[in-house]
A = this chain, B = another copy of it.
Amino acid sequence: MSEKKQIYKPKHISGFPEWLPETRMVEQQWFDHIRKVFESYGFCNIETPSVEEIDVVTAKGEVDKEIYVLERLQADPDEDKEARLALHFDQTVPLARYVAQHFNELTFPFKRYQMQRVWRGDRPQAGRFREFYQADIDVIGVDGLPLHFDAEMPAVMWEILSSLPGMENENIQMRISNRKILMGLLDECDLDYDKHPDVLRTVDKIEKIGESAVREILSDELDMSGVDIDSILSLVSCKASPNEINSVISQHIVGLNNSLLQEGIDELLFVMNQLSHLPEGAVVADLSIVRGLDYYTGTVYETVFVDDPGYGSICSGGRYDDLASNYIAKHLPGVGISIGFSRLFSRLEAQGKLPVGPKSPADIMMVLPNEEQRALAAETARTLRERGFNVEMYHAPQKLKKQLAYAEKKGIPYVWFPPFDAEGEHEVKCMKTHEQAEANPQKWTPDEQ
């Protein structure tokens, strides 16, 4: 090595999270936990490529600004042009393409989960991720999809969110509504149909900007009458537990007779009814939830920290009418919900709430007493591995003190001493209690100590 070598000091790239091994281990536990619950409800996994053709990614036209496109560093200008490739910014667009492409090989209703990275080509700025994980479930039907699935989504997500390592003491709440209710009410208002999306987007902001600001926009910008605004704001103020929701809504729709509104109420009641087994406060019907995105057509979900609702939703989704009409001449209604995995994980990490443990997955460190006992130490390690333990063999016959310090530093809970000579016995030391005792590699369990 030249002494004068230029050293390039590596630095963190803003928006691309990266963890130390001990934190990554908790992140793996999160993925394992989420996968286990998803699969326990029969969701299968798929993974799609990181890229789609650019026409697929931009088909909905909303998010052009945030898309990363791939360029080959030294592309040959003479070579055949193929479609440009872009990194996907969510998992719904790739799902639509996947379902259309593999339609004949899938079984419907198609229940799938997906836990992949997605990318947003944002400018680097504090708190905005440019690469992050999402954990999604969706169910896709052909021509129809039973409401059963609308009720299953929050049950799955509640089970996950309430027991993720580090989340056990967080006070979270899932808030559910059905857009048909508000859309039905809007039908009864004196308002052009093409303004309905604007009203929904405005009402969606109520928690952020407050009721009076919403009232002002509906009145000044959308020209709604005071009576119509009152009835909307009255309806969206409805919040109730699964058991109360029926009577609460009834009070607010006296005199209204709109079939879409009634359909929405019936659907919401069905969903809430299926969730009555959850702990009190876990889910509420909350008619202020509309979700800004245009494509939701029925049930909608949000999930908040009750003590910090301004943080925004950590798990959201809803029912949509047609997943993949761009790609296939089939009517494919669906319902889906997504955990903003990296955003949630990073929050808990920053708050010091993750149960961050050892730097190593090893249960046992095998001492290497001396060169003569190397084969025996290796064989003992193999025996213990076969029995299901994670065993790191120490790498050189160094002083015992040094070997023990290494186990300590990596947080390995047990240290195994193979016999130091032909006369000796195996012993195990518990690094927590400092107790040390004879042990048999074929039989030892951590409970012994």
Interface residues of A in 70-97 (CB under 8 A from B): 70-75, 79-80, 82, 85-87, 97
> Which of A283-291, A355-363, A414-422, A432-440 forms contacts with chain B?
A355-363
A50–B326 CB distance below 8 A: no
A379: chain B residues at CB < 8 Å are 277
A158 within 8 A of B: no
Taken together as a complex, chains A and B put the C-alpha atoms of A22 and B105 apart, in Å, by: 10
A389 within 8 A of B: yes
A86: chain B residues at CB < 8 Å are 73
A72–B409 CB distance below 8 A: no
A328: chain B residues at CB < 8 Å are 7
A69–B71 CB distance below 8 A: yes
A5-B325, A18-B48 known; A123+B10 contact, CB < 8 A: no
A227 within 8 A of B: no
A45-B28, A71-B69, A121-B72 known; A331+B1 contact, CB < 8 A: yes
B390–A40 CB distance below 8 A: yes
- Min CB gap A385→B, angstroms: 5
A5: chain B residues at CB < 8 Å are 325-326
Total identical chains: 2
A7–B392 CB distance below 8 A: no
A40: chain B residues at CB < 8 Å are 385, 389-391
Taken together as a complex, chains A and B put the C-alpha atoms of A54 and B8 apart, in Å, by: 12
A393: chain B residues at CB < 8 Å are 41-42, 148, 152
Which of B16, B18, B79 contacts A98 (CB under 8 A)?
A: B18
Taken together as a complex, chains A and B put the C-alpha atoms of A53 and B391 apart, in Å, by: 36
Which of B107, B119, B331, B391 contacts A406 (CB under 8 A)?
A: B107
- Min CB gap A148→B, angstroms: 4
Taken together as a complex, chains A and B put the C-alpha atoms of A59 and B80 apart, in Å, by: 29
B11–A101 CB distance below 8 A: yes
Taken together as a complex, chains A and B put the C-alpha atoms of A323 and B341 apart, in Å, by: 32
A254 within 8 A of B: no
Taken together as a complex, chains A and B put the C-alpha atoms of A28 and B69 apart, in Å, by: 28
A361: chain B residues at CB < 8 Å are 39, 42-45
- Min CB gap A262→B, angstroms: 19
- Min CB gap A19→B, angstroms: 7
A374: chain B residues at CB < 8 Å are 274
A55: chain B residues at CB < 8 Å are 8
Taken together as a complex, chains A and B put the C-alpha atoms of A368 and B274 apart, in Å, by: 14
A329 within 8 A of B: yes
A21 within 8 A of B: yes
A97: chain B residues at CB < 8 Å are 10
A353 within 8 A of B: no
Chain B CB within 10 Å, residue with most, of A73, A87, A329: A73
Taken together as a complex, chains A and B put the C-alpha atoms of A326 and B73 apart, in Å, by: 21
Taken together as a complex, chains A and B put the C-alpha atoms of A106 and B365 apart, in Å, by: 18
Taken together as a complex, chains A and B put the C-alpha atoms of A409 and B108 apart, in Å, by: 10
Taken together as a complex, chains A and B put the C-alpha atoms of A293 and B100 apart, in Å, by: 43
> Which of A60-68, A196-204, A233-241 forms contacts with chain B?
A60-68
Taken together as a complex, chains A and B put the C-alpha atoms of A34 and B66 apart, in Å, by: 35
A7: chain B residues at CB < 8 Å are 326-329
A46 within 8 A of B: yes
Which of B24, B48, B58 contacts A44 (CB under 8 A)?
A: B24
Residue of B with least CB distance to A273: B375
> Which of A109-117, A163-171, A303-311 forms contacts with chain B?
A109-117
Taken together as a complex, chains A and B put the C-alpha atoms of A374 and B123 apart, in Å, by: 50
Interface residues of A in 1-44 (CB under 8 A from B): 1, 5, 7-13, 16-22, 24-25, 27-28, 39-44
3 nearest CB pairs, A to B: A42-B392, A16-B49, A42-B362
Jot down 8 A-B pairs with beta carbons below 8 A, ordered by A: A13-B52, A16-B50, A41-B393, A42-B391, A42-B393, A66-B72, A67-B72, A79-B123
With A42-B391, A44-B360, A45-B361 already in contact, 7 other A-B pairs whose C-beta atoms are closer than 8 Å? A7-B326, A24-B44, A42-B360, A42-B390, A58-B73, A65-B74, A72-B121
